[in-house]
Amino acid sequence: MTRNALCVMAAAILPCLALPAWGQSIQDAEETQQRDSTVSETVIERSQQRAADAWGLDQQEYQRYKTIMEGPRGTWSPDLDPLTALGLEARSDAERQKYAELLVEIERKRVEAELAFQRAYDDAWQRLYPGDMPVNSFTTKGGIDATQSVFGDATASSSPRLNVVVATQACGQCDATVKRLLSNGAAMDIWIVDSEGDDERIRRWAAKVGIPPDQVRNGSITLNHGGSYNFDSAELPRVAPRG
């Protein structure tokens, strides 16, 4: 056989020999991609199952919640919880009642947990700082809610409460108003706009105007950082019934 014939034969055979390896490479890549896709789907399913379980729902109900939030309801109320969303978009009275009852149970557990922690917090404060008046912090919410205590109204008084917005500096009328309210026995939530996050500044001011520490400890008066209020000292104090 001539040299040229051998070269032609080799050129024809070599691609055929390479085909199995090349085909195997494609098959391996497809299997890897399929395996990764299966793993991702499994992770998503488990995550959704945990979320569904947390709200007392099955997978089908949780998927319907997600579908609801992709529609107008998600635009109107983007942070809506699953039970409220399903209840608002209920397809029957029975569904509406079911989700209302589930939400009541979950809210009851939430409130019980927060009250238990509030009691633990109060006990810890009395144990660690028995002589200091507690100062409430902001929530992480924006807007009006930004000036509410983390645990809401901790008052032991049943009388109507007042929101009182004051400054500690350059506001003699603030001091006079708070003293007058104290003499009238008012229950109030006091918001200090220039506290700059400094609890001690609030305590010094409270001592100066004569706020009784025991009324702060029992919740009839609360002292709060009020940085979310945007008032000039000349516009203060502001006194209004708590809404």
- Name the pLDDT band for 227 (thresholds 50, 70, 90): confident
Q: What is the percentage of the chain residues whose pLDDT exceeds 70? A: 70
- Range of lowest pLDDT (14-23, 26-35, 227-236): 14-23
State the virtual CA torsion across 43, 48, 49, 52 in degrees, nearest 10. 170
Query: What would the pLDDT profile of 32-89 be if each residue is shown by its tens digit?
Result: 666 655 555 666 677 788 889 889 999 999 999 999 999 998 888 888 899 999 999 9
Q: What angle do CA 210, 216, 222 make, to 5 degrees?
A: 100
Q: CB burial class (10 A; 0-12, 13-18, 19+) of residue 162?
A: middle
pLDDT score for 210: 93
Query: Residue 235 to residues 1, 153, 174, 188, 232: CA-CA distances in angstroms?
Result: 109, 26, 10, 19, 5
Residue 239 DSSP SS3? strand
- Among 107, 96, 136, which residue's Cα sits nearest to residue 216? 136
Q: Which residues contact 8 (CB under 8 A, 6 or more apart)?
A: none
Rounded to an integer, the average pLDDT of 128-132 is 77
More confident residue, 151 or 31: 31
